Chain A
Amino acid sequence: MFTNVLNEVTGRLDSRFILTLFFPSLLFWGGLTVVFAADKGLVTLLTQWRAQDIGVQLMQIIIALAWVTFFAYLLSNQIVWLTKQFEGYWEWMPLLGKRLAETRQKHYQRVLAGIDPAVDFERIYYTFPFPNEPEEVMPTRLGNIMKNSERYSYQRYDMDAVLLWPRLYSVLPESFMKTLDGAKASLDFMLVISSLSALFAFIASIYLLAMQSAWWLFLLCFLGGLVVARLAYKSALEAAITYGQLIKSAFDLYKGELRKQLGYEQPKSLAEERIFWRSLYELVYRGEAGDPEALRYLGVKETQPAPSPQPARPWLIRWLQSLFGQGSTS
Chain B
Amino acid sequence: MRWLDWQRWLLTLVVLALSLGGAFYLYSLEQPVTTLYVPEADLPAYHLIAATDLMTTTLPTAVLASKSPLQETGLVGRYTIQPLTAEKPVAAAQLVPVVDEKYVPDTTAVAIPATAAMVYNGQLASGAIVTVWTVTDTEQAKPLLGEVLVLDVQKVAGQSDTEEKAFPYIVVLAVPRPKQAELLTAVATGSLMLTLTP
Contacts and interface: CB of A to CB of B under 8 A. Distances in A.
A222 B24 CA distance: 13
Nearest to A216: B23
Given A215-B27, A226-B15, A209 B3 contact: no
B29 interface: yes
Nearest to B58: A41
Contacts of B26: 208-209, 212-215, 218
Given A215-B30, A226-B15, A205 B7 contact: no
A111 interface: yes
A18 interface: no
Given A104-B7, A107-B3, A110-B3, A222 B19 contact: yes
Interface string A87-110: 000000000000000011001001
B1 interface: yes
Interface centre among A212, A215, A219 (most CB of B within 10 A): A215
A216 B19 CA distance: 10
B3 A111 contact: yes
B23 A215 contact: yes
Contacts of A205: 22
Contact of B22 (A107, A111, A222): A222
B80 to A, nearest CB: 27
Contacts, number: 42
A213 B3 CA distance: 41
A209 B25 contact: yes
Nearest to B29: A212
Interface in A189-204: none
B18 A222 contact: yes
Interface residues of A, number: 19
A114 B1 contact: yes
Contacts of A209: 22, 25-26
A223 interface: yes
A223 B25 CA distance: 16
B5 A223 contact: no
B168 to A, nearest CB: 50
B2 interface: yes
A107 B7 contact: yes
A290 B51 CA distance: 94
Interface residues of B, number: 16
A219 B7 contact: no
A209 B19 CA distance: 11
A114 B4 CA distance: 12
B83 to A, nearest CB: 26
B7 A103 contact: yes
A214 B30 contact: yes
A87 B7 CA distance: 17
Given A222-B19, A223-B19, A215 B24 contact: yes
B40 to A, nearest CB: 14
B10 to A, nearest CB: 11
Contacts of B23: 215-216, 218-219
Interface string B1-43: 1110101000000010011001111110110000000000000
B23 to A, nearest CB: 4
Contacts of A111: 2-3
Contacts of A213: 26
Nearest to B26: A215
A138 to B, nearest CB: 15
Interface string B176-195: 00000000000000000000
A218 B23 CA distance: 6
Interface string A53-64: 000000000000
A40 to B, nearest CB: 13
Contacts of B29: 212
A289 to B, nearest CB: 43
25 contacts: A107-B3, A107-B5, A107-B7, A111-B3, A114-B2, A114-B3, A205-B22, A209-B22, A209-B26, A212-B29, A213-B26, A214-B26, A214-B30, A215-B22, A215-B25, A215-B27, A218-B19, A218-B23, A218-B26, A219-B19, A219-B22, A219-B23, A222-B18, A222-B22, A226-B15
Given A213-B26, A214-B30, 17 more contacts: A103-B7, A104-B7, A107-B5, A107-B7, A208-B26, A209-B22, A209-B26, A212-B29, A214-B26, A215-B24, A215-B30, A216-B23, A218-B19, A218-B22, A219-B22, A223-B19, A226-B15
